[in-house]
Structure 1
């Protein structure tokens, strides 16, 4: 049975993709990796990742275009902040019988493909503590009021940056039906912080795949993985979670700009520059606001509070 990893990327995230691929290949030289283009601006990154890491380009680019067209036809232009995030749903129809999907703002600390072993007893895996924050950034309380989901079911919501499943478990008809259902009920979804695909894909998975497993529920628990969690300790370029006394499986900068001064910048920079054949990253440090800008930002914040 073939296993592989999918990523979605374009030329704007070359540095992120290099860091991710360096971390994957450090532990695993053999697992095939396939890139789904985020948009038409992908030729530079496709060449670089193929040359240095053996990453292949997703073959059926026409399907990706049809997927984007169908999404536009159903939802229109204004529904999502980043509709191209939905291109990752091409994972269901690619060559791998079992697959992991991984966002490029992630680095891994182990042979990450081995997590697909959990698919022996389930059809879908994720690995995060998104559910502990409730339904924020996924659903609104309307899903309870209308009996769409119950409190137990929403404990399986997940972050869309890292997950795995099996080929053709979701069909093209499933995708279209899900899009139509969700477009008819925008009141069910929390887009307040400009999430795009995550609410819709959670809806689809909860409705259509019943054998789900979140790896953080394994025996002995599992470490966290969000870069916004500041309790992790560094040891030999790997992070440890003291709450469970385990090394992290991966670190995800979800919602965090990766730049000097961000959480765990030293970890990201290490993996980004691990391949000596590539030029080091050159991400500038953020410019600190002057006193006038600070005052203006405070005024804007006060005005927003008054409006709310």
Structure 2
């Protein structure tokens, strides 16, 4: 039985990928197998990084990618308006095609029997054995609080939603697709065909177009009734931790993040653009939540390359200056119309 970690990356998220890989090495174990799934063909820096690490491999299998891309395409073809609306915006095929490659972890041809999937904008804070152990009892394991906000998972205005899933299930079973654990082979082709038939019969109306892969993954997990466990709904209150950088109360102790004395499982830089991380790594002094922790892991093996900031940091969410507002109104800045 092979356990391992998947993530999804290309050169655009290279800085975040390095930070994630270093955090896994430092906090989960140097020999934990990691497989980077190619988001697209922009992989020069990723290939070089993977080649430098004995425990890391790169998945770029055109056959597996094609099968899951076709499945995703058929999912969205079943939706009344999605493909047309995306095409009107100049989006080819469907929105965020590369993100559907995360489904390859479920493929029987994939690398790990049991796996944890982590988005590239996460950092691992502790060994993950307890997550793998939970897969002995359930086929799908998560640790987040997305169930408190279903608006980024399903189309809440759909009249069909409560016909497909009960209110109780929506409020207890949904999850964020930035971190989950599961097993290969749990969505075999015949089951995917059945799921597509349900979507074509009207279920596609419940999908949330702005986060297509997260929505589809929640839908197929719930519809297929794959056994499910969320640590956030099962751990005792005095053991429970958050995971999102939107929580301002976490403590940083020697570059490990704690929530009320408990070590986080992972820290998710959710909602922060990859562009922000790249600018900071290029030397632009922009502050964002838990920036020093990211920089620690990004430059863990090359501290001499860590940016040395000498100016006052600008907040990542600072409002634009008056001059910028005026230039934008006049159409003299990028995107100003």
Name the structure 1 match of 2:99.
85
Provide the C-alpha distance between the structure 1 equivalents of 2:270 and 2:144, rounded to a whole number of angstroms.
11
**Could you tell me how far apart the structure 2 residues matched to 1:158 and 1:39 are?**
25
Compared with structure 1, are the counterparts of its residues 44 and 113 closer, same or farther at alpha carbon in structure 2 (3 Å cutoff)?
A: farther
Matches within 5 A, 1:1-308: 1-27=1-27, 28-52=29-53, 54-58=55-59, 60-72=61-73, 75=76, 77=83, 78=86, 80-93=94-107, 94-133=110-149, 135-141=150-156, 142=158, 146-154=162-170, 155-179=172-196, 181-182=198-199, 184-191=202-209, 194-221=210-237, 222-242=240-260, 245-257=261-273, 258-259=276-277, 260-276=286-302, 279-280=305-306, 289-294=320-325
Deviation at 1:176, TM superposition (A): 4.7
Structure 2 vs 1, CA of residues 282 and 100 (structure 1 numbering), >3 Å: closer, same or farther? farther
Secondary structure at the aligned position of 1:120 is classed as coil
Shift of the 100–278 alpha-carbon distance from structure 1 to 2, 3 Å rule, reads farther
1: CA distance between counterparts of 2:321 and 2:68? 45
Q: What is the aligned-residue RMSD (CA, Å)?
A: 3.0
User: Helix, strand or coil: the match of 2:296?
Assistant: helix
Q: 1:39 to 1:181 in 2, by over 3 A?
A: farther
State the SS of the aligned residue for 2:167.
Answer: coil
TM-score normalized with structure 1 length: 0.85
CA 1:238 to 1:74, structure 2 compared with 1: closer, same or farther past 3 Å? closer
Structure 2: which 5+ runs fail to align? 78-82, 87-92, 278-285, 330-337
**Distance of 1:270 and 1:61 partners within structure 2:** 35
Between 87-96 and 138-147, the greater mean CA deviation after superposition: 138-147
Compared with structure 1, are the counterparts of its residues 66 and 278 closer, same or farther at alpha carbon in structure 2 (3 Å cutoff)? farther
1:16-48: per-residue Cα shift (whole Å, max 9, x none)?
A: 000000000013111211111101112430231
| Secondary structure, aligned partner of 1:52 | coil
Moved more, 219-228 or 198-207: 219-228
Matching residue of 2:89: none
The count of corresponding residues between Structure 1 and Structure 2 is 295
Q: What is the deviation of 1:297?
A: 7.6
- Answer with 277-286 or 209-218: which moved more: 277-286
Name the TM-score, length of structure 2 as normaliser: 0.78
| Preserved contact between residue 74 and residue 179 of structure 1 (Cα < 8 Å) | yes
Task: Give the C-alpha shift of residue 56 in structure 1.
Answer: 0.8
- Mapped to 2, the partners of 1:37 and 1:82 lie a distance apart of 13
**Unaligned residue ranges in structure 1 (runs of 5+):** 299-308
